[in-house]
Structure 1
Amino acid sequence: MTGRLPLDEQLASLQSVLSRNEVLLEVLGRTAKMELPGWYVTAGCLFQTVWNVVTDRHPEHGIKDYDVFYFDDGDLSWEAEDAVISKGKEIFDGLPAEVEIRNEARVHLWYEQKFGVPCAPHESTESAIDCFAATTCCLGVRLEPGGRWRIYAPHGLSDVFNLVVRPNPVLAPREVYEAKSARWQRQWPELTVLDWPSAPVPRGVPSTPCREAGP
């Protein structure tokens, strides 16, 4: 199983699997041209592509949208973020998928109103990815100059390839995790969804450096 391979082989397998999703490749290429600070394509479009390939589905099956995160704390106004979103609509015009662009430096300004719990300001795009409701979601990919892939995976890739959904109770509330995992399991019934922990878990995740894979 890919999830039991050495990490370098898992990274190569991840790039190979994600490259089967043609929409994802187009999103990566077009986002790179925007030159957004600290950007990653992240979340469902990545791990769900892996799930699809592992379970012999079409690589784009069930993927609702493609998330692009960036980090710009120089201007926290909605107007600045909206200008980037508007530019993205032009860049991604014609793609058969929705692309959502968000400045992760602004998350703390709206998170509590939406999810009911406060969110400290993120320090980077990586720190925002660290806070997804499931550790399986904590994955980001971007293209570096020369076409090299930069992969951020603070919890590794074993759960992603082994179809395990594991809670990440550092920020998102339990109900968010349970709603998302229930929706995912309806689309991918092969998933193993682990229960939310009964005891509080200390905030923070282990720091794992980004890794790069060749083009």
Structure 2
Amino acid sequence: MHDRDLDQRLIAILKQAPLRMHVFEIVRSLALPDWAVGAGFIRAAVWDALSGYTIASPVDDIDVLYFDPGNRDPRHDETIEQRLRDRDPALPWSVRNQARMHIRNGDDPYASTADALRFWLETPTCVAARLDTGGGLEILAPYGLQDLFSMSIRPTSRGHARRAEYIARITEKRWHERWPNVTIELP
């Protein structure tokens, strides 16, 4: 299957998930620069669909990403989180400006939100999406979508370099308990 086919498959899954579309609409309304919603919010929707689950997995947090090198103050993220809570207080919002996250992670500066995704630890988490003004979804996936759709957890180059963190995340998240068909590759 070509990446374009997987993109379309992911878009179809997200568009059939009312909560996901609700979140995309709320975040789009803030007009953040280079924004996307990613990580487990996307991964869980796909793995639930692939597993045939009719009840969506609980959402631990909603990772809202944006890229604004002109305002790297972490308090700005808190302000955005409050704006999101004002629109839907029941949702667990988590906002991070990717223009400053390289500092916390000890990386060279990221060039964009999509570039920041390359530095996450496992490939099926390095996926995000955003809703354009016409209602279409744009997918950001620097490692492609094959691992996401094959339910394979593999380390990125950063996951290899930070092996202990990668293993700790897998242990903590316990994805294999919720989705027994998941396969895990250790670095």
Q: What TM-score does the superposition give when structure 2 sets the normalisation length? A: 0.89
3-state DSSP of counterpart to 2:32: coil
Moved over 6 A (4+): none
| Amino acid of the structure 1 residue aligned with 2:176 | Q
- Number of the residue aligned with 1:190: 181
Taking a change above 3 Å as real, the CA distance of residues 19 and 179 of structure 1, as seen in their structure-2 partners, is: farther
3-state DSSP of counterpart to 2:157: coil
3-state DSSP of counterpart to 1:150: strand
How far apart, CA to CA, are the structure 2 residues paired with 1:92 and 1:102? Answer: 18
Taking a change above 3 Å as real, the CA distance of residues 59 and 42 of structure 1, as seen in their structure-2 partners, is: farther
Q: Percent identity between the aligned chains? A: 28
- Number of the residue aligned with 2:144: 156
Larger Rg over CA atoms: 1
In terms of fraction of residues, the more helix-rich structure is 2
Taking a change above 3 Å as real, the CA distance of residues 179 and 62 of structure 1, as seen in their structure-2 partners, is: farther
- Number of the residue aligned with 1:63: 59
| Amino acid of the structure 1 residue aligned with 2:147 | D
- Number of the residue aligned with 1:25: 21
Question: CA shift at 1:59, angstroms?
Answer: 5.5
Q: Of 26, 35, 45, which aligns to 1:39?
A: 35
RMSD: 1.8
Aligned residues: 184
3-state DSSP of counterpart to 2:70: coil
How far apart, CA to CA, are the structure 2 residues paired with 1:109 and 1:80? Answer: 16
The answer for unaligned runs of 5 or more in structure 2 is none
Which sits farther off after the overlay, 70-79 or 42-51? 70-79
Q: What TM-score does the superposition give when structure 1 sets the normalisation length? A: 0.79
